[in-house]
Amino acid sequence: MAQTETILTPKVDSAQEFIEIALDFSNPLDLVREAISNAFDAHAENITLEFSVIQEYGEKVLKIVIKDDGDGMDTEGLQSFFDLGNSLRRGNDDSIGEKGHGTKVYFNSKKIEVLTQKNNYKFYAIMDEPSRKLLDREIPEVNLKIEDDPSGESGTTITILGYNNNRRDRFTHDQIKDYILWFTKFGSIESAFRIEKYKNVKLHLKGVDKREFESIQFGHVFPEESQRATDLFDKYFTEAPKWYCKKFVRTGTLESMPEIEYQAIFVVEGTRVKYQYNNMIKRSGYKAPQGAYTVQERYGLWLCKDFIPVQRKNEWITVKGSEYTKFHAFVNCQDLRLTANRGSIENTHSEILLELKKAVDEVYNEIQNSDWEEIQWLESAATAYKTIDSENKDFERRIEKTKRARVADYNGIHLIEPQMESGVFAIFMQLSSHDPGMFPFTIINYDTHSGIDVIAKAKDDIPIKTSKLYYVEFKNYLTKDFNHSFKNLHSIVCWDINLEVLGNGEEVTDIANQRRTLKIIPPADDRDYTRYYLDSMRSERKIEIFVLKYYLEQKFNIEFLPRTETASI
């Protein structure tokens, strides 16, 4: 074959690219972010977002209406609106949109209608079945009508039907509002840096679950700073750290790239402060709205572009555990490069990220070196107060219990009816020390790491090294669930068995899911006592249960009675 030379020109599979971009927005609420960004780029002063459900041929259809009073679009603007990668704002530093990708999120729908006014013309564009056509590898067409508009007004109204296969659980009013104030230009953090360019922009919102519109004020919500730490403690005592709030606002340039600016705001907040302004936080005793989240899931350090949070970087400020949850922090840098769906900053050059992290470290270290001591003092003071308060309450509670306690005397030994496992062990030790023959085993080792269990041997003269050793487990009350193994268990010593829960012939299960049946044998005569065993058909060994409440009374005539008013011990 003769040598030939030719040129290959790479091509783009347009339909596939449209599909990839339209479906790349994993969060359905990203539509809200893109709609608001376009309205700001069009210099709108009023934005309306309406989400509703309509009936269409007997089917419920999600209807989204986005309206603004911005510049509007002409034919060229509409071409860019529907094109992929064709942005008229590329190179404009004041614009948010620059890739020509954002409005493609609208293509994940059944129908798109655009009514826009500009330069005394009215443009009406319709795209039918964009999602279905793209999946059929067909580029959807736009039907465009143009007519004169002598009103001279400008603005755009976009109606989207059947977005995201009509799934609408994410479009409740509270969820949309929260998303707007955290992840869109309308919830921009720029006001923290005294940037007031958009302070008069108004947004009117209605989610699928509301009948009326709500007017939302521009800007991300930051709480007011709290009182001094000492004043907080005087007012809230043990709750004081939860009401602490201090802001740190810093601006600067990157050390090795001084042409790159950054803006940072770190707000150190207690949980009570967060609860005051954020109704979407899950908390005990509070029914949060649909789509709610925990402090751990939302707070920490966010990196921003256009003053819009993009990605969390909690690892930049976390020294130990969940320390990041104290922070409501943002760092903005216009040199961050975002992925097509604005979901990540990982396209940014690594050197810029390293320098930005250095700037974050400086702010974080400043907080630690100055105000962190105030926070730690507040937490330690609250902990100390809480400990003292808890001890006082515990002391009062125990005094009341002491007055109501049932007691017994046995050969000069004062016994108190146990309320806990440790109390059972205490009575056992008191009695067995006085009368070693009271129980048929001798304790040679005990452990309180997980409950109280002892290693014992039979009462004989055989050396420990050659004796058969086994466990004896102590319990306050014996229940159906036994949190130890029956293996190597010789006996159980407990205060009582609740026969309403665990009766004769019922099963007890150990941690290995082995089962034994409770057998209760009544006394044979007046000198005998009620015997309790855990029996198994698969084993000849019975585990004896010493139920002290009855064992001591029936065998040793030890009866526990209420403490009298005149009792001195």
**What's the pLDDT tens digit per position in 419-439?**
888 899 999 999 999 999 999
Highest mean pLDDT of the ranges 165-174, 221-230, 377-386: 165-174
Taking the C-alpha atoms of residue 181 and residue 436, their distance in angstroms, rounded to an integer, is 73
pLDDT for 500 equals: 80
| Fold agreement (15-216, 229-379) | no
Closest C-alpha among 119, 17, 109 to residue 66? 109
Q: Which long-range contacts (CB under 8 A, 24 or more apart) does 504-510 make?
A: 506/480, 507/480, 508/478, 508/479, 508/480, 508/481, 508/482, 508/534, 509/480, 509/481, 509/482, 510/482, 510/484, 510/485, 510/486
Backbone angles phi, psi at 80, to 5 degrees: -65, -40
Amino acid sitting at position 101: H
More confident residue, 101 or 251: 251
User: Token pair 């036994």 is at which residue?
Assistant: 482
Q: What is the mean pLDDT of residues 66-75?
A: 96
Q: Where along the chain do its domains lie?
A: 15-216, 229-379, 406-562
Q: In this structure, which CATH number among 3.30.420, 1.10.3470, 1.10.10, 3.30.230 belongs to the domain 229-379? A: 3.30.230
Query: C-alpha distances in angstroms, 346 versus 101, 308, 340, 343, 366?
Result: 18, 16, 11, 9, 27
Tokens of 269: 């907040």
Question: What integer is the mean pLDDT of 245-256?
Answer: 94
Range of weakest confidence among 25-39, 67-81, 548-562: 25-39
Tell me how far the alpha carbon of residue 116 is from its chain's centroid. 42
Q: How would residue 567 be classed by pLDDT, with cut points 50, 70 and 90? A: low
Task: Please list the residues that pair with 455 across neighbouring strands.
Answer: 445, 471
With a CB cutoff of 8 Å and minimum separation 6, the contacts of 20 are none
Question: Is residue 341 packed enough to be buried (19+ CB in 10 Å), middle (13-18) or exposed (0-12)?
Answer: buried
For the record, the structure tokens of 357 come out as 């992290």
pTM of the model: 0.67
What is the rounded CA–CA span in Å between residue 320 and residue 248? 21
One-letter amino acid identity for 169?
A: D
- Burial class of residue 401 in the structure, from the number of CB atoms within 10 Å of its CB (0-12 exposed, 13-18 middle, 19+ buried): exposed
Task: Using a pLDDT cut of 90, give the percent of the chain over it.
Answer: 59
Mean pLDDT, all residues of the chain = 87
What does CATH list as the number for 15-216?
A: 3.30.565.10
